[in-house]
Amino acid sequence: MASWGERLEGVRGVLLDISGVLYDGSEDGGVPIPGSVEAVARLKRSQLKVRFCTNDSQKSRGDLVGLLRRHGFDISEGEVTAPAPAASLILKERGLRPHLLIHDGVRSEFDQIDTSNPNCVVIADAGESFSYQNMNKAFRVLMELESPVLISLGKGRYYKETSGLMLDVGAYMKALEYACGIEAEVVGKPSPEYFQSALKEMGVEAHKAIMIGDDIVGDVGGAQRCGMRALQVRTGKFRPSDERHPDVKADGYVDNLAEAVDLLLQHADK
């Protein structure tokens, strides 16, 4: 493999995944991953541009940023690309009235959206709200529509909380896709439109940007398909078999965000 100097040459902007890279979530707020608070601070003191690109759809952007700030992270709402505000914009643009299968924590992002007489379903990482009853409700709304529209905030397979691996929205998206015989529209990683909006907001072209994430498919594969480079951290949902993934090969594997930032500050375009 090429040297780090070659692999990181010309990088001017960094997209950071949040869960599993900055912190490991849990019901009571989670814990920062060792070294990540300082790593973010060092990155932001450098000449590199930084933006946070999350698929977290359980919390409003304000709540997520508040939580991270309490953990010591230097982060503000305007620096975060998150799927719920992106979906909210799409619903408004297309005049869609969603039935929401979402976590209560993210409901405020849809406050301005008309949800009467729904003509689509929006599914997010609803956690405990993925009950059989709620899944049936969403399913029945879709089955009553002539052309069912299902919008999924990300399509992650699973994520890691301090208590263990948790099924993510992608699994439930697949359940509804199969039951209805439809394909969902994904708002979030690895959708190219989503990465492109984050790049645009950061003001860096794809070939000068690098994604750092713990998801070999959603973060690494998705970013690479958009022309970015991507590193996988060995934290969060990382599993050793990811380094032998049949379809996706990261531009580098690092132990954690701190190591990624060490390398970037040493080799990227400064």
Between 117 and 133, CB nearer to a second copy: 133
Token pair in block for residue 21: 């890279």
Distance CA 62, CA 53 (A): 14
Closest approach of a second copy to the CB of residue 56, in Å:
17
Site for a second copy in 96-135 (CB under 8 A): 126-133, 135
Cβ closer to a second copy: 13 or 222?
222
Residue 133 C-beta: closest distance to a second copy, Å: 7
Q: How many residues bind to a second copy according to rule CB under 8 A?
A: 31
Residue number, 156 or 252, with CB nearest to a second copy? 156
Q: Provide the mask over 205-234, with x wherever binding to a second copy is found by CB under 8 A and - wherever it is not.
A: ------------------------------
* C-beta closer to a second copy: residue 113 or 179: 179
Contacts within 8 Å (CB) and 24+ apart, 177-185: 177/150, 179/139, 180/139, 180/142, 180/143, 180/148, 180/150, 182/142, 182/148, 182/150, 183/150, 184/123, 184/150, 184/151, 184/152, 184/155, 185/149, 185/150, 185/151, 185/152
Among 136, 183, 200, 270, indicate the residue that binds a second copy (CB under 8 A).
Answer: 136
- Give the amino acid at 166: M
Enumerate residues 144-203 that contact a second copy by CB under 8 A: 157-158, 164-168, 170-172, 174-181
The single residue among 69, 143, 200, 207 that binds a second copy, judged by CB under 8 A, is: 143
Are 118 and 100 within 8 A, CB to CB? Answer: no
Q: Which is nearer to a second copy, 11 or 142 (CB)?
A: 142
Rounded Cα gap, residues 56 and 68, in angstroms: 13
What are φ and ψ of residue 166, in 5° steps?
-125, 135
Residue 213 or 252 with smaller CB distance to a second copy: 213
CA 150/CA 255 separation, integer angstroms: 37
Which residue ranges make up the site for a second copy (CB under 8 A)? Answer: 126-133, 135-136, 139-140, 143, 157-158, 164-168, 170-172, 174-181
